[in-house]
Structure 1
């Protein structure tokens, strides 16, 4: 039986490795995707997810997360949750509730407390320094405040054929309090059907939610498209349509995996991702928009990886 995991961005690679280890040992897709995303949420140098994530315009770290089970279509989600160590775990727990399975703001935070989830101050000193620096730059140079919106999105397939999807994000840096992007929204940030496959998104949520691209990719796979063909068709046709009708298209990238562990990716920016399955170990790739609605995908180089590690850990001056 095929099994595998795919996730957005280089930051997910260690989580993908751990997810594949669980899947190889016949653990569930749900456990694998939660473990994968928790690995990203717990790492302080990833400034767009969980601990160390960047705060909103008022200096408060609001987080969004979602979980979906491909067998039952159960969905749980949180938006604007604060001071909770692992929002993905709260979202997964909520997926078991028939009612009230999507909680926001104070309601989401209160639910996590009542259910005994670990509380933690998620705003690190490093993230606060980045926020302060950005405030100064905005004031002195009249800059656009919005910079950074990388969601960790993941899809897992276990040896029983079950598939799950999950997302987690601290959202758009310097966002207005209460702003919610695509990450916790079914069909936009994620979608999975264990009889077909799954997809998740990362990028500018305000534009991603205009297209419901995660659902569209799964729908196309259900019509017989390969994951790569489905990603190319959904992403680039919508990129062109949005550019034509709206005047521009923000950054967005999507990943997909089907029931055979085959995968696909499409993006309108430079985009990294990690993927592995029962036939290949986890590997990090870099993708770019190619010609004629295609995607160019290459393995990352050691030079790229070294530069990345140096960049994310550089001192904040």
Structure 2
């Protein structure tokens, strides 16, 4: 724990913000805002939609919603929205959550026949006293709010599912079967928001829900400190409340990169066979600094700011151990 003398030193150097939140005070350089980050290569297209809002001094909440709607509507993205892989019964079920700078949040899980679960989640946040709606209740709420139903199982996804039915081999959640887009944004006003949306693990048991719609597991935002989102085996993020952990590590002074690494290492330490799984975190702090870390190599993330856009490889535990 930091001593009183250290807190006074931080106060002299960085003002009251450094006293309350040492993680921010230890960062150097100016603020990088606006900025948006998202998981995986399909995050590039999502970031472009989000950036149109951020570049016009729009709100981070609007940016993350509009950003992740892009892969939700793209049938080529087989792990999100339309065209996502179905469950073992051949049903496409979608999960999503969203969180703003004021700790407002909304979530849907096991949602059928609605292409944009992230927008339904936002309306759960804004128009109900609840945080989460699931299954038939979520579908009916979406219809009541004006959403229309459509078949989300594309011919390509159905063909893959029928092939899977021949031997019903369990699909490991790793770099070949990742299941999420998570997006974090810091707007020009200095406020953070995040969104996460998925069709879940391919051929999962009907009714399975992962971390993506769970606040604290697949997404967490603390506007004083930073935000985090996750990808990979959702059950492990649920067991560790992983994204809340990442944000709390940043509160203690870790950079986004360090916080993601420490969270991954904590999970790996509990698993004797951690190399079988993929777990990855992406974080963004209040200064606009980002970082990512995962178990297996292959996790990448997109960053867009005033300097342009780029796709970066997340550092991985297995690569570090091999080195």
TM-score (norm 1): 0.85
Name stretches of at least 5 consecutive residues in structure 2 with no aligned partner.
Answer: 1-30
Select which of 253, 261, 269 maps to 1:232. Answer: 261
Q: CA RMSD in A?
A: 2.1
Equivalent residues in 2 for 1:199-238, closer than 5 Å: 199-238=228-267
Alignment of 1:244-259 (within 5 A): 244=272, 250-259=277-286
> What is residue 130 of structure 2 aligned with on the other side?
100
What is the rounded CA distance, in whole Å, between the counterparts of 2:155 and 2:84 in structure 1? 11
* Aligned partner of 1:50 among 65, 70, 81: 81
Q: Which has the larger radius of gyration?
A: 2
How many residues were matched structurally? 288
Matched, 1:144 2:170: yes
Partner of 2:120 in structure 1?
90
Alignment map for 1:234-313 (pairs within 5 Å): 234-240=263-269, 242-244=270-272, 250-269=277-296, 270-278=298-306, 280-290=307-317
Q: State the distance in 2 between where 1:118 and 1:19 align.
A: 24
| Separation of aligned partners in 2, 1:288 and 1:156 | 21
Distance in structure 2 (CA, Å) of the matches to 1:268 and 1:35: 29
Decide whether the 8 Å contact of 2:292 with 2:315 is kept in 1: no
SS in structure 2 at match of 1:14: helix
Cα 1:249/1:186, change in 2 over 3 Å: farther
Deviation beyond 4 Å, 4+ runs, structure 1: 246-249, 290-294
8 A contact 1:189–1:202 mirrored in 2:
yes
Please state how far the C-alpha of 1:293 moved relative to its aligned partner: 6.8
1:247–1:150 distance in 2 versus 1, CA, 3 Å:
closer
The 3-state SS of whatever aligns with 1:122 is coil
2:202 corresponding residue in structure 1: 173
Gaps (5+ residues) in structure 1?
297-317
| Cα pair 2:192 2:227 within 8 Å, conserved | yes
Contact 1:243–1:249 (8 Å) recurs in 2: no
- Which residue number corresponds to residue 35 of structure 1? 66
The secondary structure found in structure 2 opposite 1:220 is helix
Q: Which residue of 1 aligns with 2:28?
A: none
Does 46-55 or 99-108 show the bigger shift?
A: 99-108
105-114 or 125-134, larger mean C-alpha shift: 125-134
Describe the SS at the equivalent of 1:95: helix
Q: Would you say the 8 A contact 2:100–2:192 is kept in 1?
A: yes
Task: Give me the whole-angstrom Cα distance separating, in 1, the residues matched to 2:319 and 2:313.
Answer: 19
